[in-house]
Amino acid sequence: MKKSLVFIVAVVIAAGAWIVWTRRQDDASQNTSANGQQAQGFDKQRFSLTDPASPWVIANKHRPLQPKSYAPDDLVVPDIPLRLDTSSEEMKLRKPAAEALKEMYDAAKADGLTLMVSSGYRSYNYQVNLYNYYVKQQGQATADSQSARPGYSEHQTGLAVDVEPSSRKCEVETCFAETPEGQWVAANAYKYGFVVRYPENAQNITGYIYEPWHIRYVGKALAAEIHKQGNPTLEQFFGIEAAPNYL
């Protein structure tokens, strides 16, 4: 009788140990799976970098829009203060960017700051005139450091917007970075899906001088990941070649 009891107790203990070990293996497997997913990192192939309608399209001096005459079909006027009348095409953005900009505007206003649109969408033909004006006024080398050639402009995607204080202080000037509005944009734009596309000391990568006023809509997920990684340029983040000059 005693031997039978001892045997039963031993079986119960062994079974309990087996259950504990199995659960630990399951937990380890789950942790390994979770860590594996984390190790895979951000999905950089979620959207196209070449389709002009993609929220992640990259336009720079090596990557013209395809076609160069591309025009978005969902342009709307953002519901925030504008530099020009609502009839101006330059005051429009693609709908997702316009909605995100409205959300960002509301957040800034809650913090006591008022932003406005300085320039949004620019068509191919508009960029022809603007670029030629800069070339005439400043020479081609200087123009190329500040203005994109037609077909190469982020503004043509409808996803880029130049913002400024409602006071128009430091309008499209580097001193915008020192204004309360500029500092707020630099610290908070990513929360609403925007990145400062042409950061300081990155002309050898982006091809353009520092433009703290020029923000580009890429969506909240990508903007948050770029912020998390220390705000690299889109070229650096996606591992594509720098584009300091036209090919």
Supply the pLDDT for residue 58: 98
> Tell me, what's the pLDDT at 28?
44
pTM of the predicted structure, to 2 decimals: 0.84
Whether 211 sits among the annotated catalytic residues: the reply is yes
Q: Mean pLDDT, 10 residues at a time, over the chain (247 residues)? A: 44 43 45 38 96 98 98 98 97 98 98 98 98 97 98 98 98 98 98 98 98 98 98 98 98
The pLDDT assigned to 16 comes to 47
pLDDT at 80: 98
Domain spans of the chain? 1-41, 75-238
Question: So what CATH class is 75-238?
Answer: alpha beta
Give the C-alpha distances (Å, rounded to integers) separating 40 from 44, 49, 214, 215, 228. 10, 20, 31, 28, 16
The H-assigned helical ranges of the chain are 2-40, 95-110, 124-138, 140-146, 180-188, 203-206, 220-228, 234-238
What angle, 0 to 180 degrees and rounded to 10, lies between the N-to-C axes of helices 95-110 and 180-188? 120
* Confidence (pLDDT) at 30: 43
> Could you give the maximum distance between any two Cα atoms of the chain, in Å?
107
E strand or H helix that includes residue 211: strand 211-217
Tell me, what's the pLDDT at 40? 58
Instruction: Pick the closest to residue 221 from 100, 76, 98, 82 (CA basis).
Output: 100
Catalytic position from the list 211, 225, 235, 241: 211
